[in-house]
Amino acid sequence: MTKLAVSIVVRSLEDALTLSESAKARGADLVEFRIDEWAFKGDELERLILDCPLASIVTCRPEFEGGVFPEDEEARRKVFEKIGEARPTYIDAELAAYLRADEFKQTIKQIVDHPGQVGNVGTGLILSSHDFETRPPDLLQRLEAMTATPACRVIKMAWRARSLRDNLEAFELIAASHKPTIAICMGEFGFPSRVLARKFGALLTFCGMDDSSIVAPGQVGLDTMFHRYRWKAIDGATKVYGVIGWPVEHSLSPHIHNAGFDATAYNGVYLPMPIPPEYEHFKATVGAWLDFDGLDFKGASVTIPHKENLIRFVKEEGGEVEELAERIGAANTLTVREDGSLYASNTDYAAALYAGCNAMEISPQKLKKRSVGVIGAGGAAKAVVAGFSHSGCELVIYNRTKKRAEELADTFADAAGALSVGSLDDLACSSHNIYVNCTPLGMWPNVNETPMEVWPKSVGKKTLAFDTVYNPGETRWLREARKRGCLTVSGVEMFVLQAAAQFELWTGEGAPADIFHSIVDMELEKRREAEG
């Protein structure tokens, strides 16, 4: 089973041992000691290896391969002699250095096990290759050279991914290799290769002690691997999901969906999937992920700017697009059905509708003829208008740019309920049963903003105020609405409901919405604290 190795930058013997004790206690299988910048004295290196409670890899990386060892190769060779005396489980030496200098090669061969070695040394050689810029054009030649080197026990290839598609080549290398292999794509695009190393049977993958102490681009901390990305639950049959967008690094979706998989013991993992905005990128990446044997890519949440791209893609692939998603012109969910066919749907509009109905404790059928004031005419407003207008509500769309409100009203002109438009100035003298804020006004960090400086006189106990903003959970607008006696519902509810519907589409099981809720609240609180 693939192991999890924690990289520790060694600066002192005591600190490194304390960290390795902690790594063991937190569930790591190995530690990688990065000793590039450690001026160890006497027998400190041997004590480090001897007293380390876990199997260890020792790495002393030169600058030409992304490390910080300050001296020349001869000095580094002497460090390796010392490493040999300490007998760690593995040493990591770079293919380039190994092939370049005979003396270096001889030193390495003396300190590792290989067919020509006399006796058992107890140390294996990880022969490694790193490219921090791109995929090296001679990647396969490097792989061949490692395979052909008898002293090489483990192959390690690491390069900066240019897109999510590079991960697929890393998986291919692992599957095709005749030796235990570590294949890692670095950077944001390469993150799947770190988590899915376990699905494809890599020897190991690396992580940091925590998210802020990492040694390579794209690494995350131990707890993030274990808890957010379900490291221990991943096996060859794990189904892969993700959030497709640009950017996606701040998305809360991996937190909630992975927690949902945990809670329901569903064999899935959910990853961030950054794809640049153009349709060609979307098509090439999603197409390649779907076609890749053994990946089990079964679905995705799709966010800005790819909601239109998803509809186009699924149509081109001969899949089915939900009727209302097509009308809205945006889909937020890709589902790969049992028979392999694709389904694009939109869970936002039902989430908006049910967030409102649940707060009022009524069914959507009871909404008929109620009047709704929608503030804003962007993406969130589209979902709100789609959901409420099809339930027979009468809607007025208030937007800063009137033309955009008119276009939105035109899109749903044949819905069950009447649609008209107004300007933001008209809001103060409006009268609706339900108001929905679909602008970012009030969103963190601009928490003092509000879509309603002047409140309509009609607003009171019987009014529902629904804010699609979900950070913070209670905006200034909602606070003021509550003071006026209104029922209120926050964007967290809509966010959770749209995610819960996706979860159900993919797993066939009810989503643990209460867990989703508490995770969203907790993560948003953490972020606000971190941002001061």
Active site residues: 130, 156, 307, 348
Residues 6 or more apart whose Cβ sits within 8 Å of residue 178: 147
| By the rule CB under 6 A, 443 interacts with ligand NAP | yes
| By the rule CB under 6 A, 177 interacts with ligand NAP | no
**8 Å CB contact between 480 and 450:** yes
How far from 497 is each of 218, 301, 515, CA to CA, in Å? 30, 13, 12
Report the candidate in 1, 4, 3, 83 with the shortest Cα–Cα distance to residue 36: 83
> Please, which residues bridge with residue 249 across strands?
none
| By the rule CB under 6 A, 376 interacts with ligand NAP | yes
Using CB under 6 A, pick the residue from 254, 417, 491, 512 that binds ligand NAP. Answer: 491
Shortest reach from residue 351's CB to ligand NAP, in Å? 6
Q: Which amino acid is at 152?
A: C
In the bound state with ligand NAP, the residue whose beta carbon lies nearer, of 381 and 459, is 381
In the bound state with ligand NAP, the residue whose beta carbon lies nearer, of 50 and 522, is 522
In the bound state with ligand NAP, the residue whose beta carbon lies nearer, of 273 and 397, is 397
Using only the alpha carbons of the chain, give its radius of gyration: 28
Using CB under 6 A, pick the residue from 66, 217, 378, 456 that binds ligand NAP. Answer: 378
| Virtual torsion, Cα 27, 253, 311, 344, nearest 10 deg | 80
| By the rule CB under 6 A, 435 interacts with ligand NAP | no
| By the rule CB under 6 A, 450 interacts with ligand NAP | no
Residue nearest to ligand NAP (CB): 378
In the bound state with ligand NAP, the residue whose beta carbon lies nearer, of 4 and 494, is 494
Residues 6 or more apart whose Cβ sits within 8 Å of residue 95: 127, 128, 129, 142, 145, 146
| By the rule CB under 6 A, 380 interacts with ligand NAP | yes
Contact positions with ligand NAP (CB under 6 A) in 387-406: 399-401, 404
| By the rule CB under 6 A, 441 interacts with ligand NAP | yes
Shortest reach from residue 442's CB to ligand NAP, in Å? 8
Using CB under 6 A, pick the residue from 240, 385, 494, 520 that binds ligand NAP. Answer: 494
| By the rule CB under 6 A, 439 interacts with ligand NAP | yes
In the bound state with ligand NAP, the residue whose beta carbon lies nearer, of 336 and 438, is 438
| Helical residues (DSSP H) of 371-464, grouped into ranges | 379-389, 402-411
The piece of 20-28, 226-234, 371-379, 504-512 that touches ligand NAP (CB under 6 A) is 371-379
| By the rule CB under 6 A, 346 interacts with ligand NAP | no
| By the rule CB under 6 A, 100 interacts with ligand NAP | no
| By the rule CB under 6 A, 136 interacts with ligand NAP | no
β-pair type (487-489, 204-207) = unpaired
Shortest reach from residue 149's CB to ligand NAP, in Å? 53
How far from 228 is each of 102, 148, 222, 232, 340, CA to CA, in Å? 45, 38, 10, 11, 28
Beta strands in 303-367 (DSSP E): 320-321, 333-336, 342-345
How far from 274 is each of 24, 174, 281, 373, CA to CA, in Å? 32, 23, 10, 35
**8 Å CB contact between 319 and 344:** yes
| By the rule CB under 6 A, 379 interacts with ligand NAP | yes
Scanning the structure block, which residue is given the tokens 């599957």? 175
Return d(Cα 279, Cα 20) in angstroms, integer: 46
| By the rule CB under 6 A, 253 interacts with ligand NAP | no
Shortest reach from residue 423's CB to ligand NAP, in Å? 11
Using CB under 6 A, pick the residue from 164, 310, 377, 427 that binds ligand NAP. Answer: 377
φ/ψ region of 327 (left if φ > 0, alpha if ψ in -120 to 50, else beta) reads alpha
| Contact residues for ligand NAP, defined by CB under 6 A | 376-381, 399-401, 404, 438-441, 443, 468-470, 491, 494-495, 498
